[in-house]
A and B are shown apart, each in its own frame.
Chain A
C-alpha cells in the first residue's frame, strides 16, 4: 500500500483500468486524473453527497445521489444532478425522517446501476469533493465492486479533513460540533440551507471548498489538498 501510494493515484488508475471489465467503470478509469501539480484553482472537481440507509457500506444502501461540478473557482449549477435510487430493502423510518425520502419516492427512483453510471461519467477526469469523504468513497467503491466486479480509485478532497488540518496547524483543539458542515459554513459566512438532501449537501460542500481555497494564501497545488483516503479501495 505504501508502495502504491508512492506510485500515485494515476498509476493505480492505469493498473485498475487494465483489469476493469468493459462498461462505466472502465470508461471512468480510462480518463486521466488531474495532475497533482496543477494549481488547485484550475482543477475540475465534482462535489458529491450520498444519502444512505445507514453507515455500513456492506449492508446499507445508497438512497440518493447529489452532485455538482466545480470548475476551478466556479460552481457550475448547470451540472447539478439529484438521483433517488430505487431500493432493494425498505427505508428505515429514521432514515426517512432525516432525508425526507419515503419508500414511495424511492420506488419512483432509478436503478442504482443507472445512477452510478451517470455519476462515473460526470466524475471522469475530476477530483471528488465531499464532507467526510470516506462515506462517499466507501459506498461508491462497494457499489462498483458489486455491480461491475472491479475496484475504483477516486482522487478526492475532504472539506472535513481540510478543516481538521487547519485547526491542527493552529494547534487548536476542535470544539464540539465545530467541524460539522453547517458550523464550518457559518464560519466562512456561507448561507444556511434549510433543505437536507443530497444535492443541497453537495452544493454545501462545494461552496465550503471554495471558501477554504479562498482562505489559503496564494496559489496552492492540488496535491496539498488531496485526501489520503483516495486510495482506500485501490488497496
Chain B
C-alpha cells in the first residue's frame, strides 16, 4: 500500500506549477521537500535557513515588503515564493503574519528538476507575456459541441403560438391582425385545420398590385397549398425546404396540430447573431423602438461570440461597430424630425467606443464638433436638440448616460472646431489633472457620423503638442497612476494596498483602464496617432520609452483582463443579471488568481517605470 505523504502530494496537485506535473513527478516531489513552522511575527525566509529555497505556503500567511516598507505581496495557502531561486524579483523583507507552515524545495533541487521536466521549466522561464497568453487559452470555452442548424431541431426555434385567423376574414382585417401582432405572415385555420397562409408579400403582390379590394375575403389571395414541417426535423431541413419552394414561412405541425410558424428570419438570426446581421437590423430601424429591440440582442451577441472563441478585442470591435450603427441611425431618425444640419458637424465617439473596445456594459461617451460657421443664436437650438435626442436614444438602447457627463448634450462637449482648440489650449494652461483627463478623452475620439475632417486637425494638433511637452505628459502620467491594480489576492479577498482588502475587484479600473492609459501615454510620447490600446502598444513597443517585450507583456495582460471580463459578463448574461466589471476572487481558480496576479504585477511595474521617468517633471 503506497500512502506515502498523500496529504502533501494532494496539496501540491492543487497549485501551479505542480498541478501541471505528471503523476510520477508529483508522487516523487513530496520527498524532496522539507517542512518548517514559522511563528507569527517571525522572519521569512527564516534567518537560520542555510540554503536558498523555493517556498510554498501550506497554511498561514506571509507578507513581503520592499526595503522601503511598501507592501509587495501577501502569500497564503498555495502561494509560491521563488525569489531566492530566480535572478529576477525585488529584494524584500518577509514576515509571517500568521502562524505558518511552509514547504521548502532547495533551489539546487529545483534547478535539477527544471532540467528534466519541460513543463516545470517553462513555468519559471516563461516571460510574463508568455505565461499570460497561456493563461488566456485556459479561459476560453472548452471546444464545446457547437450546435448548428444541422443539429438543432425545428422545435427549438418555435417561440410563440402561431398567429391565426379564419379564411372568412377580409383582407383588411387580416392585415390589421398582422400589424397588431407584428408578424409578417398569418395562418388561416378553418375548423381547427390549417387551410392557408398569407404573407406581407401576398398582400403587396396579390392585393395592392392586383387592385383587389381590401374587403375581399382573405381566402382569395392566400396560398392554400401549404408546406409544413414537423418540430423534430432538423432546422437545416427546414431551410432547404424554404429555399426549394422559394418561401420564407413554414408552419410547424405535429400530431397534435399546429405548433407554430418558422420564418427564414428565425433561422438566419440564429445562424448569424453577428454584427453584420445586427447592423442590418439597426439600419432598417424606422423608430427608436426598433433600435431598442435591436440593441437588446447585444448581450446575446456577446455570449455567442465568446462561445465561438472570439478574443476580447474582436468582441470590442463588434460591440463598438453596433454602437456606431445605432448612433448613426439615431442621428438619421432625429434628422427626419429636425431637418438637415445648418452647418457641417462631426459626431465623435470618445472613450471605449472611440477605441473600439466597448463591452455590452459600456456607458456612452460622445461629443459634437461643429463647423466654424456655427453661430450659437442661429444654430445652437438645432444641435442641442440633436444631441439630446441622440443621447436619450442611446440611453434607451442600453448605453447609459455618462456619469462624467462626457456627452454631446452637455454644452461643454458641443463646440465649433475653433472652440475645441481654444478649450484645449485652456486645459493645457490650467495645468491641472482635470485638463489632462480631458485631453486623454480627446485623444480617444473617433468620428462616427458627419465630417471626419473636423476632428483630424484637432487630433494632429494635440498629438504634436503633447509629444513636445513633457510637463503636460507628466500630468497625464500622474492622472494615469490614480488607477492602480490590486496587489494580489489574500484567500478570497482582493488585496488592494497596505492593509486594504476588498471582496470583489473592478477589472476595468484595476486592470483594463491602467493599461489603456499607459498605452495612450506611450503612443503620445512617441507621436503615434493610433487610437486602440493594442494598436498603440504595438506602435509604441520597441521605442526607447517602451521596450518591445514590455509592450507585449502589457498587451497580454490587457487581453487576459479582457478575457476574464468577457467570461464574467457572459456568465452574468446567462444567469439573467446585468453584466458588470466586478469579479469576486471566489469565482476564480488558484491558477486564474495566479495569472491575474502576474498581470497586476506587469501593470504595476510599468506604472512604476513611467512614474519614475516623469517624476522630475511632476516635482517642478
Least CB distance, A74 to chain B, in whole angstroms? 5
How far does the Cβ of B48 sit from chain A's closest Cβ, in whole Å? 7
Of B34, B48, B98, the residue contacting A189 (CB under 8 A) is: B98
20 chain-A/chain-B pairs, Cβ below 8 angstroms: A73-B36, A75-B35, A75-B36, A77-B30, A77-B31, A77-B33, A78-B32, A82-B4, A84-B1, A109-B1, A188-B99, A189-B98, A189-B100, A191-B11, A195-B7, A199-B5, A203-B35, A207-B101, A210-B35, A214-B39
By a CB distance below 8 angstroms, the chain B residues around A190 are 37, 59, 101
Interface residues of B (CB under 8 A from A): 1, 3-8, 11, 30-39, 42, 46, 48, 58-60, 98-101, 104
A197 within 8 A of B: yes
Q: Is the CB of A211 within 8 A of B6?
A: no
Could you tell me if A214 and B1 are in contact, using CB atoms closer than 8 angstroms?
no
> If the complex has contacts A74-B34, A210-B36, are A191 and B58 also in contact, measured as CB distance less than 8 A?
yes
Tell me how many residues of A have a C-beta within 8 Å of chain B: 30
- Taken together as a complex, chains A and B put the C-alpha atoms of A73 and B101 apart, in Å, by 12
Bound complex: CA A197 to CA B6 (Å): 10
* Given A188-B99, A207-B101, A195:B6 Cβ within 8 A: yes
B48 touches A73 (CB 8 A): yes
- B211 nearest CB across to chain A (Å): 86
Q: Mark A196-220, 1 if CB is under 8 A from B, else 0.
A: 0101100100110011001100000
Given A190-B101, A199-B4, 14 new contacts (CB under 8 A): A73-B36, A74-B35, A75-B34, A77-B5, A80-B30, A82-B1, A190-B59, A191-B59, A191-B101, A199-B5, A210-B37, A211-B37, A214-B37, A214-B42
Q: Decide yes or no whether A105 CB sits under 8 A from chain B.
A: yes
In the assembly, what is the distance between CA of A157 and CA of B252, in Å?
82
CB distance from B120 to the nearest CB of A (A): 18
Return the contact of B8 from the options A77, A82, A188 (Cβ within 8 A): A77
Q: Known A74-B104, A189-B100; judge A214-B38 contact (CB<8 A).
A: yes
Residue A11 is within 8 A (CB to CB) of chain B in the complex: no
Q: How long is the Cα–Cα vector from A138 to B301 in the complex, in angstroms?
A: 73
Name the interface residues of A166-212: CB closer than 8 Å to any CB of B.
Answer: 188-191, 193-195, 197, 199-200, 203, 206-207, 210-211
Which residues of chain A are near B1, meaning CB under 8 Å?
82, 84, 101, 105, 108-109
State in angstroms the CA–CA spacing of A101 and B3 once bound together: 11
In the assembled complex, the Cα of A15 lies from the Cα of B59 at a distance in Å of 45
Q: Using Cβ atoms and an 8 Å threshold, which residues of chain B touch A84? A: 1
Q: Which of B6, B34, B37, B48 has most chain A Cβ within 10 Å? A: B37
Distance to closest chain B CB from A204 (angstroms): 9
- Note all chain B residues with C-beta closer than 8 A to A76: 34
Q: Which of A77, A82, A188 has the most CB of B within 10 A?
A: A77
- The reply to whether B5 and A80 contact each other, CB–CB distance below 8 Å, is yes
Smallest CB-CB A-B distances: 3 pairs:
A189-B99, A75-B35, A210-B37
Chain B residues within an 8 Å CB radius of A189? 59-60, 98-101
Whole-angstrom distance from the CB of B10 to the nearest CB of chain A? 8
**Shortest beta-carbon distance from A91 to chain B in Å:** 13
In contact, A203 and B5 (Cβ under 8 angstroms) = yes
Identify the A interface with B (CB < 8 A).
73-78, 80, 82, 84, 101, 105, 108-109, 188-191, 193-195, 197, 199-200, 203, 206-207, 210-211, 214-215
Specify which chain A residues have a CB less than 8 angstroms from the CB of B7 in the assembled complex: 191, 193-195, 200, 203
Cα–Cα distance between A29 and B34 once the two chains are bound (Å): 28
Q: Is the interface of B mostly helix, strand, loop or mixed?
A: mixed
- Which residue of chain B is the closest to A194 with respect to CB atoms? B7
* Distance between B306 CB and nearest chain A CB, rounded to angstroms: 37
A-chain residues with CB within 8 Å of residue B42 when the two chains form the complex: 214
Report whether B36 and A77 are in contact in the complex, using a CB–CB cutoff of 8 Å: no
Residues of A within 8 Å of B30, CB to CB, are: 77, 80
Q: How many Å lie between the Cα of A206 and that of B101 in the bound state? A: 12
A101 CA / B2 CA spacing, docked (Å)? 12
Question: Inside 8 A of A188's CB, which chain B residues have their CB?
Answer: 37, 99
Contact of B3 among A75, A82, A191, A215 (CB under 8 A): A82
Q: Which residues on the A side are within 8 Å of B100 (C-beta)?
A: 189
The answer to whether A77 touches B58 (Cβ under 8 A) is no
Tell me, rounded to whole Å, the shortest Cβ–Cβ distance linking A154 to chain B.
23
Contact between chains at A215 and B59 (CB < 8 Å): no
Assembly CA distance A191 to B37 (angstroms): 12
Q: Which residues of B contact A200 (CB under 8 A)?
A: 3, 6-7
On whether A211 and B99 interact (CB within 8 A), knowing A80-B4, A82-B3, the answer reads yes
Q: Which residues of A contact B35 (CB under 8 A)?
A: 74-75, 77, 203, 206-207, 210
**Is A197 in contact with B3, judged by CB distance below 8 angstroms?**
yes
A190 to B59, CA, bound (A): 7
Name the residue of chain B whose CB is nearest to the CB of A191. B59
Q: How far is the CA of A193 from the CA of B5 in the complex (A)?
A: 11
**A76–B60 alpha-carbon span in the complex (Å):** 20
For the complex, give the distance between the alpha carbons of A108 and B31 in Å. 23
List chain A residues, Cβ under 8 A from B101: 189-191, 207
Give the complex CA separation of A82 and B36 in angstroms. Answer: 21
Please name the residue on chain B nearest to A106 by beta carbon. B1
Provide the bound-state CA to CA distance between A191 and B103, in Å: 13
Nearest opposing residue in chain A for B40, CB measure: A189
Which residues of chain A are within 8 angstroms of B46 by Cβ–Cβ distance? Answer: 73
Measured between C-beta atoms, what is the minimum distance from B41 to chain A in Å?
10
A46 to chain B, nearest CB (A): 14
Cα distance, A145 to B251, chains bound together (Å): 93
Which A residues touch B6, using CB under 8 A?
Answer: 195, 200
- How far apart are A85's CB and chain B's nearest CB, in angstroms? 12
Closest A residue to B32 by beta carbon equals: A78
Give complex CA distance A188, B99 in Å: 7
Q: Are B37 and A73 in contact, CB atoms less than 8 angstroms apart?
A: yes
Q: What chain A residues lie within 8 Å of B38 (beta carbons)? A: 214
Cα-based distance from A105 to B2 in the complex (angstroms):
10
Give min CB distance, A214 to chain B, whole Å. Answer: 4
Give complex CA distance A197, B2 in Å. Answer: 11
**Closest CB-CB distance, A225 to chain B, in whole Å?**
15
- List of A residues within 8 angstroms of B36 by Cβ: 73-75, 210
How many Å lie between the Cα of A78 and that of B31 in the bound state?
A: 4
Closest partner residue, chain B, to A189 (CB atom): B99
Contacts of A199 in B (CB 8 A): 3-5
